[in-house]
Chains A and B, each alone.
Chain A
Amino acid sequence: MIWIETLSRNKEVVARVRASGKMATIGRAYDNDVILDDPHVASRHVRVRHGEDGALIAEDLGSRNGIHDESGKRRHAMRLTGDTLLRVGRTWLRVRDNTFRLPGERILPPERRLWPWLLLALTLAIGVRLLGQWQVDIFEHSDPVALYVQPLLGFALLASAWITFWAVLTRLLAGQARTGLHAIIALTGFAVVSVAGSLQTWLSFALSSRALADYGFVPVWLLVAIVFCAHLRVIGARHLLRKAVAVLMLVLCTCLGQWLESRPFSPEEVSDPDFHPEAFYPPSWRIAPPSTEEQFFERLREIEPMIEKLRKDDAEPQKA
């Protein structure tokens, strides 16, 4: 008894056909044991039979495209061990007989209860979202519905869309939606990225650092990248490095875009220091030690040569 398996490009079994005889033929024609709808396959393309030692052998029946092994080399005949893959036209095949020895069954992992984690992630995300809103609940005309309910509804909608997207993708590619896991990743990721964003503005104040205020978005986007990779990991563990690199490139592009955007478009904006909006925090949230009067004025004095340099640098091309 011979089993002929048609594989996808990812080498997953798409179809499995049993040939009950001593040998089986494969081709496009209807008198074959296995019929392949591949225009690059000949009418009668391959024959599979048991060799004298009992091993399976695939033989080219004189097709124009021939048969190829996994490395892409054209072969007239191939010994098949059961794990050997061969390509016929554009179709990947694997042939096994009923003596093929499978590895033992995997032990089932202990039943993981996702919902406590899901609940935790949901609480975290909603908490972070509400905390963010509470910080802007500072005006006299604040309306609780507009301030707390509407953003939560919007958040729920967005989060559902995001989770559904990943679940559908995973169902398509890995056969299983794994919605719960995606939800945990998405909600936790949201909370972490939000907190990191706030951390960035706080640190730029606490450390008195304009660089952090200007370029702090980079670590935040890297966190977004990690969330992306986690979603992709759920889909499948194959080529994880390649996926991570792709996501990283995407994030780098985003960062570059944001950096370009944060640079002033028009010369007028350059001259507008309002361009540096500053966030304040309570005095006790400061980290950097206060400067002395002398240190402070020393730093101010350094600004004069910086501006003079700008003035001179720009004077040259203008004359040209």
Chain B
Amino acid sequence: MPVFRACLFSLLGCLCFTAGTVLAADDKDRDANAAVQAQGSEDAGRSLSAAAERVFGEAQPRLLQIRTVLKSAQKQASIGSGFLVSTDGRALTNYHVLALHALEPTLYQIEYRAADGSRGSLRLLAIDIDNDLAVVQLDAPSGKPFEAFDFARAAVEGRLVKGERLFSMGNPLDLGFTIVEGTYNGRVDKSYQAREHFTGVLNPGMSGGPTVTGDNRVVGVNVARSIDGDLVSFLAPAEAAVRLLEKARSGGEMDAAAVRGEIGAQMDVWQKAFFAALEAQGFRETALGPYRVAESKADWFNCWAHTNRDEWRKLRILINRSSCNTHTQLFLGNDVYAGGMEISHAYFKSVDLDALQFSRRLRARHPYFPGGASNRYTPFRCHDDFLASGEGSPQRPALRVSWCARGYRDFPGLYDVSVVAVTQDHDREALVSNATLTGVQFGNALAFTRGFLAALKVRRDLD
């Protein structure tokens, strides 16, 4: 079996640290680009490390390490980073850094540690599932104002140019606050989610830390890295962070029920937008033997093809596969993701296999669903059926369909769904199609299934 490898985004594991030193920001009113240019000339005679040293020196008092602490053991369960964005103690981090606390506040609490060694507790104010962001409030120990980061206006307005030198900060692997230099490489093209491509090393524990320009203005929040490539890292965009801060201004502290309710509401909005976008992008008809399938024109699908034609000197069955994946993973809780969609089609044609042998060679199984602990999902419930030809669309062949779904225990209304359809119009030729949706609402899954099945067609007259 070929393995379709694509760029898999892995969330940075949470590790923690505190930070907190403050250097006065440069003139806050200066335009970000101008600032960068000014700084470029300023740094011209100095080494690169001197620039990083200056940035880090300024940023240190605004950096935080965020720890999720298991209350019963008073030991950290996960760690990540964060950064101050207002003088009254608002800070930004990733939602996944404090998800344990957000969903189970009776078991876990969250704390911060600053670079000067000060520490305190945090209150969760707002979350953004799509961008994996969260706003927290620090309890001011002394009452004196905090130092805070500003956002780079160019980044918020989407005017940041590729090649801009950036600095990412955080506390990797609980080793201490660290600064990493890298390059801005624009919005990720093949992603439905808005992600900034940062070429630089992000390590577990740096999640939630800021990535800044040379004048210490935030362009994004560290969120993920590719496990397949080197130095390929991703940031949540600055504009999403700004939007969430705005939203946090009006709300109070969120308890677990509020978090769950908010996730449900956000997923609702997200899915409406996603399926509308999918529809709006349109589909193109792709041929697999006499079969026609609809493939999304959206460029956020990562598609791969594979054939076994060149694998054997004498083939007994021809297998052409194509597979498209959005690689979207909305982090909801530990080991629980939503928003993923994978669609694959495999065309089987017998070379010298008899009808019975051919049917034996068909592989049409539901994919493996990554699970984690069972109590996060219900068991699967399935329905197998034969569907008559010509329904849904006149050219649709008869189908054998197996449809399975499981529920998310912690998030009512969200399901993992897999549908496998095998054409039943020929005994030595078949199309095996599979669609997998994660964290989808039941109604959306049904509507999707309807469209998915209707789009499977056969055109034998062309043979």
Using CB atoms and an 8 Å cutoff, list the residues of chain A in contact with chain B. Answer: 134-142, 208-210, 266-268, 270-274, 276-284, 286, 288-293, 295-297, 299-304, 306-308, 310-311, 314-315, 318
Cβ–Cβ contact A268 & B446, under 8 A? no
Contact A134 B357 (CB under 8 A): yes
Q: Are B356 and A281 in contact (CB under 8 A)?
A: yes
Judge whether B378 is part of the interface by a CB distance below 8 angstroms: yes
A295 to B356, CA, bound (A): 29
CB distance from A239 to the nearest CB of B (A): 45
Q: Is B406 interfacial (CB 8 A cutoff)? A: yes
Q: Which of A137, A271, A307 contacts B374 (CB 8 A)?
A: A271
Known contacts A267-B371, A280-B362; 17 further A-B pairs (Cβ under 8 A): A208-B386, A271-B371, A272-B368, A273-B369, A276-B382, A278-B402, A290-B385, A290-B398, A291-B385, A291-B387, A291-B388, A292-B391, A297-B446, A303-B382, A304-B442, A307-B405, A307-B407
Contacts of B412 in A (CB 8 A): 308, 311
A134 to B406, CA, bound (A): 37
CB distance from A257 to the nearest CB of B (A): 22
Q: Are B378's CB and A311's CB within 8 A?
A: yes
Determine if B383 and A274 form an interchain contact, defined as CB atoms under 8 angstroms apart: no
Q: List 26 A-B contacts (CB under 8 A).
A: A140-B315, A210-B382, A267-B374, A267-B375, A268-B371, A270-B374, A271-B379, A271-B406, A273-B382, A273-B404, A282-B358, A282-B359, A288-B386, A290-B398, A291-B388, A293-B392, A295-B385, A296-B387, A297-B449, A299-B385, A300-B446, A301-B446, A303-B405, A307-B407, A307-B415, A311-B409
The 5 A-B residue pairs with the shortest CB-CB distance, nearest first, are A267-B374, A273-B366, A283-B424, A290-B388, A310-B378
CB distance from A282 to the nearest CB of B (A): 4
Interface residues of B in 382-438 (CB under 8 A from A): 382-389, 391-392, 398, 400-407, 409, 412, 415, 418, 422, 424-427
- Taking a contact as CB atoms under 8 Å apart, the answer to whether A303 and B381 are in contact is yes
In the complex formed, the residue of B with least CB distance to A308 is: B407
Partner pick for A310 among B312, B368, B401, B407, CB 8 A cutoff: B407
**Which residue of A has the minimal Cβ distance to B373?**
A267
B396 CB to nearest A CB, Å: 10
Q: Could you tell me the distance between the alpha carbons of A318 and B383 in the complex, rounded to whole angstroms?
A: 28
For residue A208, which residue of chain B has the nearest CB? B384
Within the assembled complex, what's the spacing in Å between the Cα atoms of A293 and B449? Answer: 11
Determine the chain B residues whose CB is within 8 A of the CB of A271 once the complex forms. Answer: 369, 371, 374, 377, 379-380, 406
Kindly list chain A residues whose C-beta atoms are within 8 Å of the C-beta of B365.
273-274, 277-278
For B423, the closest partner residue in chain A by CB is: A283
Tell me whether A279 and B387 are in contact (CB under 8 A): no
Binding site for A on B (CB under 8 A): 311-312, 314-317, 353, 355-362, 364-369, 371, 373-375, 377-389, 391-392, 398, 400-407, 409, 412, 415, 418, 422, 424-427, 442, 446, 449-450
Partner pick for A290 among B386, B392, B427, CB 8 A cutoff = B386
Residues of B within 8 A of A307 (CB): 378, 381, 405-407, 415
Bound-complex Cα distance A301 to B382 (A): 11
Residue from A283, A297, A299, A301 with most neighbouring chain B CB atoms (10 Å): A283
A282 B355 Cβ-Cβ under 8 A: yes
Q: Which residue of B364, B367, B385, B418 has the most chain A CB atoms within 10 A of its CB atom? A: B385
Cα of A304 to Cα of B405 in the assembled complex, Å? 8
Which residue of chain A has its CB nearest to the CB of B392?
Answer: A293
B-chain residues with CB within 8 Å of residue A135 when the two chains form the complex: 356-357, 360
Cα–Cα, bound, A137→B189 (Å): 45
Q: Are B422 and A280 in contact (CB under 8 A)?
A: yes
- Give the docked Cα–Cα distance between A292 and B388 (Å): 6
The smallest C-beta distance from B407 to any residue of chain A, in angstroms, reads 4
In the assembled complex, the CB of A287 is this many whole angstroms from the nearest CB of chain B, namely: 10
Chain A hits for B366, CB < 8 A: 273-274, 276
Which of A136, A291, A292 lies at the interface centre, i.e. has the most chain B CB atoms within 10 A of its CB?
A291
* Partner among A210, A300, A314 whose Cβ is within 8 Å of the Cβ of B378: A314
Contact (A306, B381) CB under 8 Å given A290-B388, A297-B446, A297-B450: yes
Q: Is there contact, CB below 8 Å, between B356 and A274? A: no
Residue pair A318, B404 in contact (C-beta under 8 Å): no
Residues of A within 8 A of B388 (CB): 290-292
Expressed in whole angstroms, the Cα–Cα distance for A137 and B316 within the complex equals 10
On whether A283 and B317 interact (CB within 8 A), knowing A291-B387, A307-B381, the answer reads: no
For the complex formed, measure the closest distance between the CB of A274 and the CB atoms of chain B, giving whole angstroms: 5
B407–A138 touching, CB < 8 Å: no
Contact of B316 (CB < 8 Å), options: A138, A277, A279, A282: A138
Task: Verify B383–A300 contact, CB threshold 8 A.
Answer: yes
In angstroms, Cα B344 to Cα A70, docked, is 78
Contacts known (A273-B366, A301-B446, A310-B381); A296 close to B401, Cβ less than 8 A: yes
Cβ contacts under 8 Å, A142 to chain B: 316
Contacts of A139 in B (CB 8 A): 316, 361
In Å, the complex CA distance between A293 and B403 comes to 13
Say whether A280 contacts B400, CB under 8 Å.
Answer: yes
- Which A-chain residue is minimally distant from B363 (CB atoms)? A280
Shortest Cβ distance from residue A200 to the other chain B in the assembled complex, whole angstroms: 15
Chain B residues in 8 Å Cβ range of A272: 368-369, 371, 380
A311 and B371 alpha carbons, distance in the complex (Å) = 16
Asked if residues B403 and A300 are in contact (CB atoms below 8 Å), the reply is yes
A134→B426 CA distance, assembly (Å): 21
Which chain B residue lies CB-closest to A205? B400
User: Are B379 and A270 in touch, CB under 8 angstroms?
Assistant: yes
Report B-chain residues with C-beta under 8 Å of the C-beta of A277.
Answer: 365
- By a CB distance below 8 angstroms, the chain A residues around B406 are 271, 307
Cβ B385 vs Cβ A140 within 8 A: no
B357 partner, pick from A137, A210, A308, beta carbons under 8 A: A137
CB closest residue in chain A, given B367:
A274
Contact A299 B378 (CB under 8 A): no
Question: Which residues of B lie under 8 Å from residue A136 when comparing CB positions?
Answer: 360
A283-B382 in contact (CB<8A): no
**Chain B residues closer than 8 Å to A308, beta-carbon distance:** 407, 412
Known: A267-B374, A272-B369, A290-B387. A311 touches B357 (CB 8 A): no
Cα–Cα distance between A285 and B285 once the two chains are bound (Å): 31
A contact residues around B312 at 8 Å (CB): 140-141
Give the distance to chain A from B317, nearest Cβ to Cβ, in Å.
7
